[in-house]
Amino acid sequence: MNRSRPRLKYCIIALLGLAATPPAWAASSPDWQVVTAQITQNKNLQTYRHVAIAQWSLGGALSGTRGNGAAINLSSDDIVSLRNASSTQSPTLAQWRLFLRNGDSLVGTPSSIAAGAMSIQSPLLGKLTFPLGLIAGLRRAESRVPTTVAHDHDTIYFLNGDKLDGVLEGLTATAAKFDSSLGESTLPLTRIACITLGGLPAPAQKPTLTAQLFLRDGSRLTVSELIMNATGLHAATTEHQPFACSMGDILKLHVQGGRLTWLAALPFASEQTTLFGMQWPVKINSAVTGRIMRVDGVRHHHGLGVHVNCRLTFSLSGQYTTLRLIPAMDDSAKPWGQAQLKIVADGKLLYDQPHAIPDGSAVPLILSMAGVKTLELSASDDQHDGVRGRVDWAAAALLK
């Protein structure tokens, strides 16, 4: 009796069944990529992919499982960032964006002003209220934010290009109450492009450890309290205002105040020797051209972009142990760019590359910063008249 064909049929069905069964990491939603402050043998930041998070408390630790089923337990201090591979950006139809002075912004509909605070209704987070001293302004989604904000008055920018200085006294979802030299007016929001709030910001007492959330509607918000588990995310703003959202609403999180500090986040002094009077401002988290840093084809979203004949000086106060960075020419420097690169700590030369070129040879450096008070990064012209002297101090990070 010939049973070869039925057996073949059953084998095919079994294989199809296995193919239809996703791996463990794919079955868990969402699928997280976790970057840590741990350094690998290749001098890279340790990254865990396909992580299913069971529990994470910002003040404690993260626990979960990796794609291979192995358990993972990380202290919050060791976490640099999380990225949700299962979520994509999907802007909402909300017409307004609230800008905070710390760089955060929230998409939503303005609700009210009362007791020195402004409320906004977020499609993802619900109603949130912020003290006016923390708010830089409110703008329509398609408008631009002015680069300067007055200290002694508020300003309304109208869609027709006009503007009006005064004091914002009230706000609803449809109108702004504004006191100016023209008297007290109620102005429909349909006429307004942007409102900036003057006054000095209230002194902020930032907690030691915070996380900045990036949401799928384009909002970003810093929180001081956070618990993440299967039910979603429960958090509180730095003003201790609670809110919640689903895991699918989160694109990524950046932990601030942990073991790793991006060098570009620290203040620095810049000395530049100009060529023919040309100035090249230092760029934070981009190449000196203003574009994304690229070194040997790899994009870097953290670091400092400079032109040759520039020295950066940082005050570290001896609080860090390690510096990790990739000193290199930006890919846009090809084919003629070249430079001399030096790293000096408290007057001691730690790194000297007399002839850096964009040739694919850039590698990460790990340098001891134990007890270092002053760090200098120097990029000099390599007898090439500064032609395409575009230097990246890429992925520069300090670790405690």
Report yes or no: 383 and 345 within 8 Å, Cβ to Cβ.
no
Q: Say if 250 falls within a structural domain.
A: no
Q: In angstroms, rounded to a whole number, what is the distance separating the alpha carbons of residues 239 and 178?
A: 27
74 and 109 in a single domain? The answer is no
Q: Which of 180, 196, 212 is the last residue of a domain?
A: 196
Q: Which of 196, 211, 229 is the last residue of a domain?
A: 196
285 and 326 in a single domain? The answer is yes
291 and 192 in a single domain? The answer is no
Q: Say if 3 falls within a structural domain.
A: no
Q: Which of 196, 213, 235 is the last residue of a domain?
A: 196
Q: Give the helix/strand (H/E) hosting 53.
A: strand 45-57
373 and 289 in a single domain? The answer is yes
53 and 140 in a single domain? The answer is no
Q: In angstroms, rounded to a whole number, what is the distance separating the alpha carbons of residues 64 and 54?
A: 5
Digits of tens for pLDDT over the chain (400 positions)?
Answer: 343 444 434 333 333 343 344 443 333 457 999 999 999 999 999 999 999 999 999 989 999 999 889 999 999 999 999 999 888 877 766 789 999 998 899 999 999 999 899 999 999 999 999 999 899 999 998 777 665 677 789 999 999 999 999 999 999 999 999 999 999 999 999 999 999 998 766 565 555 899 999 999 999 999 999 999 988 999 999 889 999 999 999 999 999 999 999 999 999 999 887 666 677 899 999 999 999 999 999 999 999 999 999 999 999 999 999 999 999 999 999 988 899 999 999 999 999 999 999 998 899 999 999 999 999 999 998 676 667 789 999 999 999 9
CATH of the domain at 392: 2.60.120.1060
274 and 392 in a single domain? The answer is yes
* Radius of gyration in angstroms for the set of CA atoms belonging to the chain, rounded to a whole number: 26
Q: In angstroms, rounded to a whole number, what is the distance separating the alpha carbons of residues 312 and 180?
A: 45
Q: Say if 216 falls within a structural domain.
A: no
64 and 105 in a single domain? The answer is no
**Six-digit token string for 157:** 């920018």
Q: Say if 373 falls within a structural domain.
A: yes
35 and 120 in a single domain? The answer is no
Residues spanned by the domain of 395: 262-399
123 and 66 in a single domain? The answer is no
Q: Say if 127 falls within a structural domain.
A: yes
Q: Say if 370 falls within a structural domain.
A: yes
pTM of the model: 0.84
**Six-digit token string for 382:** 């390599």
CATH of the domain at 37: 2.30.30
Q: In angstroms, rounded to a whole number, what is the distance separating the alpha carbons of residues 32 and 25?
A: 9
77 and 147 in a single domain? The answer is no
* Angle subtended at Cα 17 by Cα 11 and Cα 21, rounded to the nearest 5 degrees: 145
Q: In angstroms, rounded to a whole number, what is the distance separating the alpha carbons of residues 108 and 192?
A: 16
From the list 284, 341, 338, the residue with the least C-alpha distance to 310 is 341
110 and 76 in a single domain? The answer is no
Q: Say if 18 falls within a structural domain.
A: no
From the list 65, 55, 56, 60, the residue with the least C-alpha distance to 77 is 60
- Sign of torsion over alpha carbons 212, 215, 217, 218: positive
80 and 122 in a single domain? The answer is no
Number of domains in the chain: 3
From the list 345, 330, 339, 354, the residue with the least C-alpha distance to 273 is 339
Distances (CA, A) of 331 to 287, 299, 305, 338, 354: 10, 10, 12, 11, 18
Q: Is the peptide bond prior to 327 cis by the omega test (within 30 degrees of 0)?
A: no
Q: Say if 257 falls within a structural domain.
A: no
pLDDT at 74: 97
